[in-house]
Amino acid sequence: MSSSHTVDPISALRAGDAGQTDRALEILSTVFGYDSFRGEQSAIIEQVASGGDAVVLMPTGGGKSLCYQIPALLREGTGIVVSPLIALMADQVAALEGVGIRAAYLNSTLDYQEAQAVEQQLLAGELDLLYMAPERLVLPRTQDLLRRAQLALFAIDEAHCVSQWGHDFRPDYLGLSVLAEAFPTVPRVALTATATESTHRELTERLRMQDAKHFVSSFDRPNIQYRIEPKASPREQLLRLITSEHEGESGIVYCLSRKSVETTAQWLADRGIPALPYHAGLDARVRQDHQERFLRAEGLIMVATIAFGMGIDKPDVRFVAHLDLPKSIEGYYQETGRAGRDGQPSTAWMAYGLGDVVSQRKFIDAGDGDEQFKRNARSHLDAMLALCETVSCRRVQLLRYFGQESEPCGNCDTCLQPPQTWDATVAAQKLLSALIRLDRERGQKFGSGQVIEVLLGRENERSTQSRHAELSVWGIGGELSEKEWRTTLRQLLARGIVEAEGDYGVLVPGPQAGPVLRGEVTVELAVDRAPAKASRSRPGRGGGGGSSRAAEGLETAERERFEALRAWRTSVAREKQIPPYMVFSDATLVAIVQLQPRSVAELGSVSGVGAKKLAEYGDGILEALPG
Ligand code: ADP
Ligand code: ZN
């Protein structure tokens, strides 16, 4: 799984006389090809390399991997990486081998012989990093194996999975609490991109990391543009987003149900947009195949349930779209965080409507789980709704949810097109009165459709039967159209002024209704903007669809060289059966094009070109670069 000639430079670095910080920097540059650490990377590496524990909260794309990879290289022995994502381990290991690190994984995809070979490598001290899933790690047999090996550290990736309060609980993670006692001298680093205070607290406790140093980065993802628009015809809206802003680019579309995943993927494919479905109901082989195609192809769209995406580190996902309301802000932020890991402009887009609010509430009420569980789910949903209905900066609200204060960002829909608001106090009172009258005088509760008919005074079978026209609230809402009432109702639901109740989602006055009815508060609501008005101000793109956002600023001659390098990269990736971005990122290709290196040595100075890749690809690149 690893070739011995690549070992030497790294063991030389490990053994070097230089101070730890210098050696870390040297590894960063010779192995990974980068010249400086980002954010808190250096401090985290220092902490773990010198044997301390660390809890690392860093947004997706922040650079968490180096925080355990480099300490594992600096310390004697093997770094054990715990990850729930078996399907991605092969790629992760391939990427590490690509830069000359001795890595392997132990999971159920290996047969007995293969697993034996890896165990031997571990015991012989021939591995820098070893990946495994938590359920494997806690087996007595594995514990025994690890006790016989020399361990550099434990890295617990996706550490939020240990939190039951959070959105991604994996029971197997609970077993990791044994590590503190079983291996008291081995430093542990827990990493996650989910960062609410409650999740942070819970993972610290469950993983017994009370004595660790905590590193909490800014959670902002400035290159992601957040947009949430009213749902009219969601697929058409999605199609418009793709064709007007993301033609030929990679993206992820999230849907709630398996069925809508299937139909949406088909619908896109019928319109000439390359799209594949992904959900837990598909055969494991099909899932793996679709995931691999998504990682390797450029410009493919994955239509998926939330079963897809954790640990996917494809850097050039240009948009993440939600066709249904996520259940929590944590989930939403993780999912949208999969866009733009490479730091290039990207879009997080969502369509959301009245139906989403009603069905999610219903889903929670009808679901099993105790009252505490439901209360949790409701408060998650309420926070999500507040984000959808906010009239101020979405980013400010998102970051505040993670405990960080910020200024309006200028790169979300509400900043770019501040929504108009109107005084909806009277409308809210009329609606509440209608609910109260229908209940008191007829003993009836209805869903949104019939309530709006009453407000508009529109006769139908049911209203005739129940003599609704005799009620004082009949037709009192004529100043708004049906569509405006739906918008209003959606926002009143989101604010708890109205509630949807029971299996049928019938409407009742919510906990916030009292002050509104008594006229003690005014209700300021947003006017829905027209859907899918692209607000991105994008520079015109040269070249055709499928060109990289990273290459946007290039001149014609440079673009030609860039395309030549891309073609070279595609052929190398195909030959090695790895995703193109594992050969080099777009950003690295652009840097090469701009530098126009004439020698292998010059090429080595480009960010992202480490020693191993330079030796492996240097000549090929120089040959592929036209004139
Ligand atoms: P995370 O796991 O936090 O989502 P990754 O570890 O995958 O993020 O890093 C995201 C991207 O940033 C990767 O392409 C990685 O190579 C790159 N990266 C990380 N640290 C640095 C650095 N110090 N300089 C340049 N690029 C970096
Ligand atoms: Zn903003």
What structural domains does the chain harbor?
Answer: 8-216 (3.40.50.300), 224-352+390-416 (3.40.50.300), 421-526 (1.10.10.10), 549-624 (1.10.150.80)
Share the mean pLDDT of the chain.
90
The residue whose CA has the least distance to atom 21 of ligand 1 is: 63
Q: At what angle do helices 7-15 and 20-27 cross, to 10 degrees?
A: 160
CB under 8 Å to 280, separation ≥6 — which residues? Answer: 258, 305, 307
60-101 pLDDT tens trace: 888 999 999 999 999 999 999 999 888 889 989 999 999 999
How sure is the predictor about 489, in pLDDT bands with cuts at 50, 70 and 90? very high
The residue whose CA has the least distance to atom 16 of ligand 1 is: 63
Instruction: State in Å: Cα 415 to ligand 2 middle.
Output: 4
Pick the range with the lowest mean pLDDT from 161-170, 238-247, 454-463: 161-170
214-230 burial, b at 16+ Cβ within 10 Å, e below that, comes to ebbbebebebbbbbbbb
36 CA: nearest ligand 1 atom: 23
Pseudo-torsion of CA 157, 161, 162, 167, nearest 10°? 150
Instruction: State in Å: Cα 527 to ligand 2 middle.
Output: 18
The percent of residues above 90 in pLDDT, for the chain, comes to 68
pLDDT of 9 over the 90 cut: no
How sure is the predictor about 354, in pLDDT bands with cuts at 50, 70 and 90? confident
Q: Tell me the ligand closest to 45's alpha carbon.
A: 1
d(C-alpha 166, C-alpha 230), whole Å:
27
58 CA: nearest ligand 1 atom: 3
Q: 397 near 386, Cβ under 8 Å? A: yes
The residue whose CA has the least distance to atom 26 of ligand 1 is: 34
**Ligand 1 neighbours by CB, cut-off 6 Å:** 34, 37-38, 41, 58, 60-66, 313, 315, 341
Q: Tell me the ligand closest to 60's alpha carbon.
A: 1
d(C-alpha 263, C-alpha 266), whole Å:
5
Reading the block at residue 330, the tokens are 């944590």
Q: Tell me the ligand closest to 398's alpha carbon.
A: 2
- Give the pLDDT of residue 586: 86
pLDDT of 545 over the 50 cut: no
Instruction: State in Å: Cα 627 to ligand 1 middle.
Output: 32
Instruction: State in Å: Cα 390 to ligand 2 middle.
Output: 11
The residue whose CA has the least distance to atom 19 of ligand 1 is: 63
Instruction: State in Å: Cα 230 to ligand 2 middle.
Output: 18
Q: 492 near 484, Cβ under 8 Å? A: no
How sure is the predictor about 548, in pLDDT bands with cuts at 50, 70 and 90? low
Substitution site in 21, 29, 31, 32 for ligand 1 pocket (most atoms within 8 Å of beta carbon) = 32
Instruction: State in Å: Cα 417 to ligand 2 middle.
Output: 10
d(C-alpha 95, C-alpha 220), whole Å:
27
Amino acid letter at 400?
R
Q: Tell me the ligand closest to 226's alpha carbon.
A: 2
Q: 66 near 215, Cβ under 8 Å? A: no
* Interval 228-248 mean pLDDT: 94
DSSP assigned state of 527: P
How sure is the predictor about 5, in pLDDT bands with cuts at 50, 70 and 90? very low
Q: Tell me phi and psi for residue 556, to 5 degrees.
A: -55, -45
Residues facing 188 on adjacent strands: 154
- Cβ neighbour number for residue 132 with a 10 Å cutoff: 21
137-168 pLDDT tens trace: 999 999 999 999 999 999 999 999 998 776 77
The residue whose CA has the least distance to atom 27 of ligand 1 is: 63
67 CA: nearest ligand 1 atom: 6
